[in-house]
Structure 1
Amino acid sequence: QIKPQVEKVKAIQSIPRPKTRKQVRSFLGLVGWYRRFIPHFSTLAAPLTELTKKSNSKVRWNDDCELAFQSLKKQICRAPVLQCPDFSKPFVVQVDASNVGLGAVLAQGRAGEEKPVLFLSKKLFDRQKRYSTVEKEGLAIKWAVDSLKYYLLGREFILQTDHRPLLWMQSKQHQNARIMCWCLALQPYQFTIQHCPGKKNLIADYLSRLPEMC
């Protein structure tokens, strides 16, 4: 394990300050996924947790909230949360798409205990926002694999998506020309697609929605 490079954590460092109670909850869900790696997590997160209580109809951001927000972002971007890639072990790529962006996480580790190697986030172009849901999810896969080519090419890996219809993507049997083109572009890679329910694909989902918050 080593300290993460700047480009590996840029997507996390660029997270804007939450403006609504829903956004605060989403951020806490993101960092909470790695709480077992963050010392004194509950204490650090306490000012933000207070904002999510039903009695607080408005987000009243103060210095304690800002300190908690910045501290948690810093913690999630440091070792031992972020793992140095081990090329002798398989990678897991978690992807997701929203109406505004794409998100991905490269991870390694035992099932359910994966640790992130790097985070990725990308804003959709206007024309891409008009894609169907399955096309956006397919685009997320193509973009993530291309972006992680250095780690993935020539190695078997698992690709996780919360969009069940994409499980047939490897069969390359689809009438959608755009998706067929992406399938062909992915042929050099050796991967297995797994369905990952939304609750377990939380990090990639959050990253795909970052442009909506900016």
Structure 2
Amino acid sequence: MSDPVLRAPDFDKPFLVTTDASEHGVGAVLMQEGPNQEFRPVVFLSKKLSISEKECYTIVYALEKLRPYVWGRHFHLQTDHAVLQWLHTAKGNNKKLIRWSLGLQIFISTYNTF
């Protein structure tokens, strides 16, 4: 019989979180060091991202980081995807995209339209 793939967490020991991203999604592994000084997985995580999610996140990230420069000012946003128009008319139930859309609303003015 072989050892199980996942080990039970020991909350008295430190954890190691490993992350990675690709063009298709993101992933993470929560690990802990075992008795032979080898790290064993406790939890695997993964999330597939659509092109709309990636494009939207890029916009959200950029505007949040650039807020001191663009807040309350006229600026143009150039992107290679129609995600802003989709967000403007979306009636879906993707909570993450809805939250991002609401966060982008503060940058919209009569000068900055979709």
State the percentage of identical aligned residues.
Answer: 36
1:192 corresponds to 2:97: no
Choose which of 51, 61, 71 in structure 2 pairs with 1:143: 61
Choose which of 51, 57, 72 in structure 2 pairs with 1:154: 72
> Which structure features the higher share of helix residues?
1
Map 1:48-63 to 2 at 5 A: none
CA distance in structure 2 between the aligned counterparts of 1:185 and 1:172, rounded to whole angstroms: 15
Query: Residues 185-213 of structure 1, C-alpha deviation per residue, up to 9 Å, x if partnerless?
Result: 122112334xxxxxxxxxxxxxxxxxxxx
**The structure with more radius of gyration:** 2
1:170: how far off? Answer: 3.3
Query: Residues 57-98 of structure 1, C-alpha deviation per residue, up to 9 Å, x if partnerless?
Result: xxxxxxxxxxxxxxxxxxxxxxxxxxxxxxxxxxxxxxxxx8
TM-score (norm 1): 0.29
1:99 corresponds to 2:23: yes
Q: Secondary structure at the match of 1:146?
A: helix
Unaligned runs of 5+ in 2: 1-21, 29-45
Q: Secondary structure at the match of 1:154?
A: coil
Q: Specify the code of the residue in structure 1 equivalent to 2:23.
A: N
CA distance in structure 1 between the aligned counterparts of 2:78 and 2:47, rounded to whole angstroms: 22
**Could you say which residue in structure 2 is the equivalent of 1:34?**
none
Unaligned runs of 5+ in 1: 1-97, 101-123, 194-214
**Could you say which residue in structure 2 is the equivalent of 1:167?**
85
1:165: how far off? Answer: 4.1
Equivalent residues of 1:134, 1:165 under 8 A apart? yes
CA distance in structure 2 between the aligned counterparts of 1:187 and 1:165, rounded to whole angstroms: 14
Query: Residues 140-196 of structure 1, C-alpha deviation per residue, up to 9 Å, x if partnerless?
Result: 010010010011111122211111243232346443211100011122112334xxx
1:99: how far off? Answer: 1.6
How many equivalent residue pairs?
73
CA distance in structure 1 between the aligned counterparts of 2:81 and 2:99, rounded to whole angstroms: 19
> Structure 1 pair 161/129, CA: closer, same or farther in 2 (3 Å)?
farther
TM-score (norm 2): 0.50
1:135: how far off? Answer: 0.4
